[in-house]
């Protein structure tokens, strides 16, 4: 049996698939458009909305068709689990949830019979979607094959928190790999670049032991994510955290009740205790339910308060704004959004202080515009009709982002195809609950 594997995007994201293959005792070979049809079974890992467009382009260019058995195509991963109806229109089988303990049985049955009766498999047209499979994490470690090569090891799965926009806690229970099980992997990472990761790794109940062991074995820990309460857990000069709401009011509404004062205190403490310049990335979400101009005034005030602090002269701030993507398995799955809201301009004015300066260095970041938001909403909400839209898109659109000036017209053109397939903008934006 020849098994192929297809992973889009960053190399480090293939940890899940490699873990499943390792537990199943299987070997899979990376495929290209030219080689994929030589496999018996093709495993596709789908992490985010773009992978659905990338998969359509890949299938188109490789000449592979679902249902032909050359090869049988099985998709899994976070996006496949969240939106199996649309994904199943491109592949033969969609695995729902964690595949760690199940991939072996699924691949065997598919290879031998072209069928799959596994309880966590979804096929297009099935009457219902199975609940996600839930498997315990393990201390399995992979080495990414980018130039530097980083060892990656999962230390916990799921999350103790339940933020309204995030699906993690609703897809899987919170489970940890014990320090005793991790110790060997930490020793193997001695002197190497590594990432011992989890959705919120500093919340691991044995984090202090893990951190001490990473230090003791001289591991080059690349992890720089932390919740605001845990910024002090980061040793280096770089940290990334999610504030999400642009105001206290919005943060409270989504389950991250961080006050502006708390932001000032924790950020100030982090920057002041670094040896050199502190580089801080903060993630925000625009278009949360209830957002109005007072929330934008709030974030302007917060940026101004930071600028008044002496410590901010040693700060490089990289704020990132992502407009809300309402996802299945989240409390905000039916939230209304405004795909054409001019968040790019609003954000740029804030970061440039309307032509002035904040008194500390800001790294400018781009914001998803109407094209990215349209393409995302088609995947998150479009179901089988969304697949028909994607199959009608030109390869040029599937390939990637057009130049900035063409993006809004492209979004409008895609929405025209959506309307032909019964998906109206009102539906994608959540004001209408059913596809026509
Ligand atoms: S956003 Fe972070 S803290 Fe909130 S539920 Fe998701 S993983 Fe947990």
Encode pLDDT of 263-297 as tens digits: 999 999 999 999 999 999 999 999 999 999 999 99
Better pLDDT: 57 or 227 = 57
Q: Whole-angstrom Cα distance, residue 196 to residue 211?
A: 10
Using the structure block, give the residue that is written with the tokens 């895609």: 414
**Are 352 and 235 part of one and the same domain?**
yes
- Place 10 in a pLDDT band, splitting at 50, 70 and 90: low
Domain containing residue 178: CATH number? 3.30.750
The predicted pLDDT at position 242 comes to: 95
Using the structure block, give the residue that is written with the tokens 């994929």: 36
Alpha carbon distances (Å) from 153 to 139, 179, 186, 208: 6, 12, 9, 17
The predicted pLDDT at position 271 comes to: 97
Using the structure block, give the residue that is written with the tokens 């939230």: 335
DSSP-derived secondary structure letter, 421? T
CA angle 402, 404, 410 (to 5 degrees): 55
**Are 362 and 228 part of one and the same domain?**
yes
- What's the chain's average pLDDT? 95
- Place 149 in a pLDDT band, splitting at 50, 70 and 90: confident
Residue with the smallest CA separation from ligand 1 atom 3 is: 161
Q: Cα of 173 to ligand 1 centre, how many Å?
A: 13
- DSSP assignment string, 112-145: HHS----TTEE-TT-SSPPPPB-------EEE--
Residue with the smallest CA separation from ligand 1 atom 6 is: 166
- In the chain, % helix, strand, coil (3-state, to 5) comes to 40, 15, 40
Residue whose C-alpha is closest to residue 274's, from 227, 313, 222, 318: 313
Residue 241 in contact with residue 231, Cβ under 8 Å?
yes
Asked whether residue 54 is assigned to any structural domain, the reply reads yes
Element (H, E) at 284: strand 278-286
* Domain of residue 264, residue span: 224-368
Domain containing residue 337: CATH number? 3.30.750.200
**Are 260 and 359 part of one and the same domain?**
yes
Asked whether residue 44 is assigned to any structural domain, the reply reads yes
Find the mean pLDDT for residues 194-219.
94
φ, ψ of residue 331 in degrees (nearest 5):
-65, -25
The atom number, within ligand 1, closest to the CA of 168 reads: 6
Q: Which of 328, 348, 368 finishes a domain?
A: 368
> Each residue of 45-89: pLDDT tens digit?
999 999 999 999 999 999 999 999 999 999 999 999 999 999 999
The residues, ordered by sequence, that sit 6+ positions from 203 with a Cβ below 8 Å of its Cβ are 156, 159, 160, 227, 230
Alpha carbon distances (Å) from 173 to 45, 98, 119, 168, 198: 21, 11, 19, 9, 13
**Are 285 and 242 part of one and the same domain?**
yes
Alpha carbon distances (Å) from 46 to 13, 29, 42, 49, 150: 10, 17, 13, 8, 21
Q: Which of 192, 223, 254 finishes a domain?
A: 223
Q: Cα of 39 to ligand 1 centre, how many Å?
A: 38
Asked whether residue 127 is assigned to any structural domain, the reply reads no
Q: Which of 223, 258, 275 finishes a domain?
A: 223
**Are 388 and 412 part of one and the same domain?**
yes
Asked whether residue 104 is assigned to any structural domain, the reply reads yes
Is the pTM higher than 0.85? yes
Residue 316 in contact with residue 363, Cβ under 8 Å?
yes
Q: Cα of 160 to ligand 1 centre, how many Å?
A: 8
- Place 11 in a pLDDT band, splitting at 50, 70 and 90: low
Asked whether residue 130 is assigned to any structural domain, the reply reads no
**Are 219 and 230 part of one and the same domain?**
no
The predicted pLDDT at position 148 comes to: 73
DSSP-derived secondary structure letter, 156? E
**Are 361 and 238 part of one and the same domain?**
yes
> What's the start-to-end Cα distance of the chain, in Å?
44
**Are 353 and 238 part of one and the same domain?**
yes
Question: Distance from CA of residue 158 to its chain's centroid?
Answer: 14
Asked whether residue 131 is assigned to any structural domain, the reply reads no
Q: Whole-angstrom Cα distance, residue 24 to residue 359?
A: 55
> Each residue of 99-125: pLDDT tens digit?
999 999 999 999 999 999 999 999 999
- Place 235 in a pLDDT band, splitting at 50, 70 and 90: confident
**Are 335 and 434 part of one and the same domain?**
no
Asked whether residue 284 is assigned to any structural domain, the reply reads yes
**Are 41 and 112 part of one and the same domain?**
yes
Overall domain count for the chain = 4
123 burial (CB, 10 Å; 0-12 / 13-18 / 19+) is middle
The atom number, within ligand 1, closest to the CA of 165 reads: 1
Ligand 1 pocket, residues with Cβ under 6 angstroms: 159, 161-163, 166, 168-169, 199-200, 242
Residue 210 in contact with residue 234, Cβ under 8 Å?
no
**Are 244 and 359 part of one and the same domain?**
yes
Asked whether residue 154 is assigned to any structural domain, the reply reads yes
**Are 41 and 72 part of one and the same domain?**
yes
Domain containing residue 106: CATH number? 3.40.50
Q: Cα of 142 to ligand 1 centre, how many Å?
A: 24
């Amino acid at each position: 049996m020849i098994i192929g594997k297809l992973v889009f995007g960053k190399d480090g994201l293939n940890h899940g698939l490699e873990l499943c293959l390792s537990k199943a005792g299987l070997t899979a070979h990376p495929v290209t458009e030219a080689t994929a049809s030589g496999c018996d079974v093709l495993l596709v890992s789908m992490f985010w909305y773009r992978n659905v467009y990338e998969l359509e382009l890949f299938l188109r260019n490789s000449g592979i068709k679902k249902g032909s058995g050359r090869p049988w195509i099985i998709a899994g991963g976070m996006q496949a689990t969240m939106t199996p109806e649309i994904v199943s229109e491109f592949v033969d089988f969609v695995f729902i949830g964690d595949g760690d303990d199940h991939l072996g049985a699924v691949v065997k049955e598919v290879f031998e019979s072209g069928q799959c009766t596994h309880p966590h498999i979804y096929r297009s047209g099935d009457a219902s979607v199975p609940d996600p499979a839930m498997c315990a994490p393990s201390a399995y470690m992979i080495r990414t094959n980018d130039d530097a090569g980083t060892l990656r090891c999962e230390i916990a799965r799921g999350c103790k928190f339940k933020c309204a926009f995030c699906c993690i806690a609703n897809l899987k229970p919170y489970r940890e790999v014990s320090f005793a099980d991790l110790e060997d992997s930490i020793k193997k990472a001695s002197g190497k670049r590594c990432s011992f990761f989890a959705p919120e790794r500093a919340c691991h109940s044995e984090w202090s032991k893990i951190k001490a062991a990473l230090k003791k074995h001289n591991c080059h820990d690349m992890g720089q994510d932390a919740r605001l309460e845990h910024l002090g857990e980061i040793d280096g000069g770089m940290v990334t955290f999610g504030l999400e709401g642009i105001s206290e009011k919005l943060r409270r509404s989504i389950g991250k009740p961080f006050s502006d004062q708390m932001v000032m205190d924790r950020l100030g403490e982090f920057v002041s205790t670094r040896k050199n310049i502190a580089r801080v990335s903060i993630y925000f979400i625009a278009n949360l339910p209830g957002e109005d101009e007072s929330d934008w005034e709030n974030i302007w005030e917060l940026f101004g308060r930071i600028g008044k602090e002496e410590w901010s002269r040693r700060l490089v701030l990289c704020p990132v704004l992502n407009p809300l993507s309402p996802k299945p398995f989240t409390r905000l799955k039916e939230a209304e959004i405004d795909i054409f809201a001019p968040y790019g301009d609003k954000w740029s004015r804030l970061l440039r202080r309307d032509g002035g300066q904040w008194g500390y260095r800001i790294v400018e970041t781009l914001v998803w515009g109407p094209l990215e938001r349209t393409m995302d909403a088609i995947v998150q909400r479009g179901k089988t009709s969304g697949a028909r839209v994607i199959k009608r898109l030109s390869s040029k659109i599937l390939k990637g982002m057009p130049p900035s000036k063409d993006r809004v017209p492209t979004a409008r053109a895609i929405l025209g195809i959506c309307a032909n397939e019964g998906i109206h903008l009102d539906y994608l934006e959540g004001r209408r609950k059913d596809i026509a």
